[in-house]
Amino acid sequence: MQLTHFGHSCILVEHLGAKFLFDPGNFSHGFEGITGLDAILVTHQHPDHADTTRLPALLEANPGAQLFSDPQSANLLDGDWTAVRPGDAFSVGSLTVRGTGGRHAVIHPDMPVIDNTAFLVGDDENPSRLLHPGDSLYIPHERVDVLALPSTAPWLKIWEAIDYLRAVNPRVAVPIHQGIVNDNGRGIFYGRYSEMAPEGTEFRVLPHEDGVEV
């Protein structure tokens, strides 16, 4: 599987001939010129995960892409989006994608909790090849190979992220949702995740806009 990180929670996944993009939001850069996408997936409606100013051009450049999102975003975004709920499954090429989770992490008790669909991507060898949880700490209780790990967020404490990383216990964890802090801040968070990852888990920071095999 090849992953390309375009900042924050936006990841391009290329695996077994399928090519799809997660969460092209307004804190992410470089995804605008991508073509040949089989699918675009949005975990939830927040603008750092779905940039409504740049999405139309991305959709126009990828007319054959299937569009999948959480139920609320499917009603809010322009385009023919398919709502994905927990338990739903669909195919992208030879891959199977399942909707899991369902709710955004709580930011504050006074704020309404919105939909958030976590996506599990699988192939014939592993139905949980990749987990993109969006803004949640959803634990699938399956053997996840690669975890996109939320690393910094208004709703997240570092100990929560460490415990989540340990609970999922992936082979590889790549940090996402880091666009709200500068390089110094990222170094603090990344250092802790690397030091405190479970035995057997590789914590790997992806370079910006440079595809990496994982």
pLDDT digits (tens, 9 = 90+) for 161-171: 999 999 999 99
Q: What pTM value is reported for the model?
A: 0.96
Instruction: Give the whole-number percent of the chain exceeding pLDDT 90.
Output: 98
Cite the DSSP H helix spans in the chain: 55-61, 71-76, 158-168, 183-196
Instruction: Give the whole-number percent of the chain exceeding pLDDT 70.
Output: 100
Each domain of the chain, given as residue ranges in start order, spans 2-213
Q: Which residue has the tokens 């040949």?
A: 36
Q: What is the per-residue pLDDT for 70?
A: 98
Q: Where are the beta strands (DSSP E) in 57-171?
A: 66-69, 82-83, 89-92, 95-103, 115-122, 130-132, 146-150
Query: pLDDT tier at 50 (50, 70, 90 boundaries)?
Result: very high
Cite the DSSP H helix spans in 54-182: 55-61, 71-76, 158-168
| CATH number, domain 2-213 | 3.60.15.10
* Length reported for the chain: 214
- Using a 10 angstrom Cβ sphere, with 0-12 exposed, 13-18 middle and 19 or more buried, the burial of residue 17 is exposed
pLDDT mean over 53-81: 97
Q: How far is CA 111 from the centre of its chain?
A: 23
Query: pLDDT tier at 150 (50, 70, 90 boundaries)?
Result: very high
